Amino acid sequence: MKFNISILLVLISSVVFAQNVDENGRPLGAKPSFVVSSVEDVYLKKNESSVAGAEVKLDYSLPKGVTSGKLTLFHPRKDEELKSYTLSSETGLVTVNVKEMPVSIFSVGLYDPQGKLVKSLNVID
């Protein structure tokens, strides 16, 4: 009799404590609502090899298949374009001479050939 009660309790507890969710809390078999990629195909970032106070190197990558665009530097507090660079490849590096700039902090916009903003970045030298 004790053995039957023990088996019955084990079966009940396995049903009660069984989970129908995965490690992320989604129901088993459910797909994530969005996928996070570890490698971003479009980026704009400051290169760490930049010489402080003299130059800023900006790494960029345009969307896949886009081989031209524009990189524009803006004043951080005014609606003023400081400098513009024409891009002729999907990925690359642009070196900005900070000594020629009126400010050491500026905003950068990465644009596609149609003039649509793809990525932006605030640069502090």
3 lies in some domain: no
105 lies in some domain: yes
86 lies in some domain: yes
Query: What's the average model confidence in pLDDT over 33-47?
Result: 68
CATH for 103? 2.60.40.10
Q: How far apart are alpha carbons 69 and 58 in whole angstroms? A: 14
The pLDDT tens digits of the residues spanning 84-100 come to 999 999 999 999 998 88
Count of domains for the chain: 1
The pLDDT tens digits of the residues spanning 44-70 come to 998 887 666 688 999 999 988 889 999
- pLDDT band, very low/low/confident/very high, at 8 (cuts 50, 70, 90): confident
56 lies in some domain: yes
Q: What percent of the chain has pLDDT over 70?
A: 74
23 lies in some domain: no
Distances (CA, A) of 82 to 15, 27, 43, 66, 86: 67, 52, 21, 25, 14
For 94, the domain range is 43-124
53 lies in some domain: yes
Q: How far apart are alpha carbons 103 and 8 in whole angstroms? A: 77
Maximum average pLDDT range among 20-24, 65-69, 76-80, 101-105 = 65-69
15 lies in some domain: no
More confident residue, 23 or 116: 116
116 lies in some domain: yes
- pLDDT band, very low/low/confident/very high, at 110 (cuts 50, 70, 90): very high
